[in-house]
Amino acid sequence: MNPNYPKEFASSNGTPRALVISTGAKRSGETPAFRFCCCLFFALLTIILPLQAAPRPHHPSELPQNSLELFTDMMRVADANFDPTTHLVNFPGQNNHPRLVVRETSWYALGLLLRDANGDRANAAAALEAVLANQYLDPKTKWYGTFRRTPSEPLPPANAIDFNQFDPNWRVFIGTTFQMILADFPERIPAALAQRLYQSIDIAVKGEKQEGRLTPTYTNPALMYGALWDFIAAHNHDTGRLAEATAWNAEVYRLFKLHNAFGEYNSPTYYGTDLYGLGLWRIYGSSPAMRAHGAEMEATLWTDIADFYQPNLRNIAGPYDRSYGMDMETYTSLMGLWIRTLLPAAKAPLPALTATGDHALDNWFVPMVVLLGSPVPSAARAKFEHFAGPHQVTRQITDQRKATAWIGTDVLFGAESTHQTVGVDGHSQFHPATIQWRTPSGAIGWINITHTPPIDATASQRGIAIFTAGDVTFLIHAPGINPGDITASTWNLPGLPLKIGTSATATVTLHGDDTEITYKSVQTLVINRS
């Protein structure tokens, strides 16, 4: 029986009541229709129950080879950056300005418990105590239940702004890590510590509900929140809160099913968090419906990602609703970690694991990835392993938003139409028009938009068409660009010559391998291969 089921939902033998069906001899009054329904129900169980029956890895030796290599590399880096005095991860960062980090310490603690080598349990317990010491416990504040990002972070002021003076999502990132520890390794931590983790989760869920800022459309924390809410309500046998969690999760699922897409669409980082949240649903959900919905959305998401992926370019094509980079070969994305569990290092869209690379903190996410695993549909998995051939992708995201992409042999075009409701500014993670290709140097060249008014863009085999009303700035990254290669009408890029169709005038600024070009008062702009 799933350990999260409230006792009142179970039969005497521990099976959820909804699953208790007589398999005895035929009784009087049974009709063919009744027998057909029973057969259909048992057929459905063959789909649902394996979600619970799959063996769970409890030691690195039980991991698949790719996952084992990824986990081993990550723990080597993490061990070297664990401070034995504070019992926190001491992250060096790209500029060699180390700082102690709280969330990643919880992730490392999970890794220690999975590895379970000499001294790992003691270090994990000490790390978890250090994380708990950084939870905000004042219920009168809007940051109640979340955690400091670093122990030196000052107490937020009364008018604190989310994601500025504190990060509310630390509630669910850290809380779900505690959830995995309690579900998979309760015997590897002291009983008193386990109770404190349950209490911490309870506080985190109460704080999130009290702040009231989260909606089911904010995909990645919504999935984690639903998993955590369900977990603690089931553990506490709180049927009222369990009903609330079930309603929340049902709304997340309903929104997804509108277009088989999450509103936070096509993010190389946050799709990785989505898979994490869906894995939590699939494995730890307190009901067969929650586990089945998690598995269904997870499989659909993998299928969608596979259609945008080009294994020879080792990148997911745009457009990206949220992205921290344009080349998965050069920065750590959570999707890169997930795909690494499917592919050997030489073929995965992931740089070598270090503590100093671009977005290197996300490397600490590995323990959750390898412990949850993900049953990728075979047809999708094949597309990560071998290029399926050039193809067009069209996806409806919401009633107003549509993504299009061309997955070519040597180029990726991605674009999003928003009914001109969303633009890009200097702080945006939204990339509504993207191009990637491999340059003669072997590196990935890429193009995105760094500034635009609300925009519509569409991608096809020929290129990208853009419709807006105002100035548009492109950033072009390609090793080997020379002065004169970029003009208003031609972009003579290494390995990818492009023609630009527009009546707008342009100014060009070169910065080494990067070129910025701004078109003034754009109405229509078309980028086509020469």
CA distance 145 to 149: 13
Half-sphere exposure of 181 (CA within 13 A, CB side): 33
Handedness of CA 183, 188, 191, 193 (dihedral sign): negative
* DSSP element (H, E) containing 406: strand 402-407
CA distance 438 to 407: 13
260 Ramachandran zone, left/alpha/beta (phi>0; psi -120 to 50): left
Query: Which has more confidence, 393 or 29?
Result: 393
Identify the weakest region by mean pLDDT among 35-39, 145-149, 478-482. 35-39
Q: What is the dihedral of CA 235, 241, 243, 247, to 10 degrees?
A: -110
Strands 456-459, 490-493: parallel, antiparallel or unpaired by DSSP?
unpaired
What mean pLDDT is reported for the chain? Answer: 91
What 3-state class would DSSP assign to 355? coil
45, 19 Cβ separation under 8 angstroms: yes
pLDDT value of residue 220: 97
pLDDT value of residue 50: 40
CA distance 228 to 173: 10
**pLDDT confidence of 96, banded at 50, 70, 90?**
low
524, 500 Cβ separation under 8 angstroms: no
CA distance 269 to 336: 8
pLDDT value of residue 56: 80
- SS3 sequence of 226-285: HHHHHHHHHHCCCHHHHHHHHHHHHHHHHHHHHHCCCCCCCCCCHHHHHHHHHHHHHHHC
Tokens of 34: 């009744």
- pLDDT (tens digit per residue) in 495-517: 999 999 999 999 999 988 999 99
- pLDDT (tens digit per residue) in 150-198: 999 999 999 999 999 999 999 999 999 999 999 999 999 999 999 999 9
The residue written with tokens 């936070």 in the block is: 264
Q: How many residues does this entry show for the chain?
A: 530
Say yes or no to pLDDT of 44 above 90. no
Average pLDDT rounded to a whole number, residues 9-23: 32
CA distance 318 to 327: 11
Sequence-distant (6+) residues with CB within 8 A of 71 are 60, 63, 111, 114, 115, 366, 367, 370
Say yes or no to pLDDT of 408 above 50. yes
Say yes or no to pLDDT of 90 above 50. yes
pLDDT value of residue 427: 83
CA distance 399 to 15: 42
- pLDDT (tens digit per residue) in 432-483: 999 999 999 999 999 999 999 999 999 999 999 999 999 999 999 998 898 8
pLDDT value of residue 482: 86
Q: pTM of the full predicted structure? A: 0.89
- pLDDT (tens digit per residue) in 243-295: 999 999 999 999 999 999 999 999 999 999 999 999 999 999 999 999 999 99
Say yes or no to pLDDT of 332 above 90. yes
Sequence-distant (6+) residues with CB within 8 A of 260 are 300, 304
